[in-house]
Amino acid sequence: MKISVFGLGYVGAVTAACLSRDGHLVVGVDRQQVKVDIVNGGKSPVVEDYVGELIGNGVASGKLRATTDTQEAIDATDMSLICVGTPSRRNGSLDTDAVMRVCEEIGAAIAKKNRPHAVVLRSTVLPGTMRDIVIPTLREHAGNAPGLVIGNNPEFLREATAVYDYDNPPKIVVGSETEEDAAAIAEIYEHIDAPLFLTSVEVAELVKYADNAWHAVKVVFGNEIGNISKAVGVDSHDVMRIFCKDEKLNISPRYLMPGFAFGGSCLPKDVRALSYKGRSLDLDLPMLESVMRSNENQIDRAFEDIMAYGNRKISVFGISFKAGTDDLRESPQVTLVEKLLGKGMDVRIYDRYVNFARLYGANRDFILNKIPHISSILLDDFDAVLAHGETLVIGNASPEFEELPDRVAPEQRIYDLVRLKKRMHADAQYEGVNW
């Protein structure tokens, strides 16, 4: 393919080098003449293993050249990858001025070219940037140019291993306005063996931030555990080496899918204990200290959403913190119900496991004596609870609750804390806590 790469900084230089190595005809574009001269001289404008060699080979073979002329690059290619910087402003917001400027230039050049062209953003941008800036700017300046395809293709390159990461990515993500357009863009990676995700531009934008925020959280988490380890005389690397061997729960998708707050007899207790231990050792552990507060915020968020509906009659399906258990200890669903009752809501609850425990189980005393106000509104009649509510709250993932979307009345609405498999698509009747 014939591809122009806009921005010859770190991402752009690596991308141009690898594309030319793979046999594509590549034109690098940069406003700085010095970078253009470096590339045309067969050298790398960035310090990164193998990139200089690849650029040298690309220039020598005629597969790679650089220019400051946008029109020249657009006329010579069929696809443009935007790799300009998006630095932080002083207030923490993202500076997208370079993205806006290059979109204006590319759009104007495409208008003059008047032939089909694909424009793909590789720069890291927040959700909404494609819809609010990139797409309208390109279309405005391209006018009625035919066959304009626009996409987002985040990069997952690490400095010092960028060429290896380009060839061995954990995933390839391409977002576009249609799946067909995304698939056409992804053809430049057809030789790479990696999971391919064709998605919307918004998902593609946010995936990169989810990745980097998670990496940052992991570093901070490891360091805070390390701080505690050192203070109590434990080898932190032994702790985390064993921790990382657990790929069923620790290094896995478990616990990472958005939903409601955590609860139960283990997580809240142990997070509080570890935070207390840190304070007793005079350690500052801001991430661990903020976990419980963030968890409480999720309960408050669900409460505010439900209250905003203006419905007084509320039915809750599942009050234990996890389906298949009668354990109500530190259940966030209990906290949510207590907040609703405190506002005078008329609440009914159905949970077959908790109802059984109220009569026979080991938690009978807790249910009858510790939360009697909840015990009194816990019914064993699914249909009666369903008929009661104007708002139906799905509290846990018990399989029997999957039938609720098929049985909801037109005047009822569902608020889902667990993401039912049979989700409703009528916006007026269905909402999820995080979707």
Element holding 213 (H helix, E strand): helix 201-232
Give the three-state DSSP class for 76. helix
Among candidate residues 81, 134, 143, 138, the one with its CA nearest the CA of residue 114 = 143
Q: If you search the block for the tokens 């801001």, which residue do you land on?
A: 286
Q: Determine contact, residues 369/393, Cβ cutoff 8 Å.
A: no
Supply the DSSP string of 277-329, one letter for each residue.
HHHHTT---HHHHHHHHHHHHHHHHHHHHHHHTT-SEEEEE--SSSTT----T
Among candidate residues 292, 303, 375, 385, the one with its CA nearest the CA of residue 342 = 303
Rg of the chain over Cα atoms, rounded to whole angstroms, equals 27
Q: If you search the block for the tokens 């357009």, which residue do you land on?
A: 181
Q: Active-site positions?
A: 266
Give the three-state DSSP class for 426. coil
Q: What pairing do the DSSP bridges indicate for beta strands 172-176 and 346-350?
A: unpaired
42: tokens are 């067969």
Whole-number Cα distances in Å, 306 to 253, 290, 321, 414? 28, 25, 18, 10
What does the chain come to in residues? 435
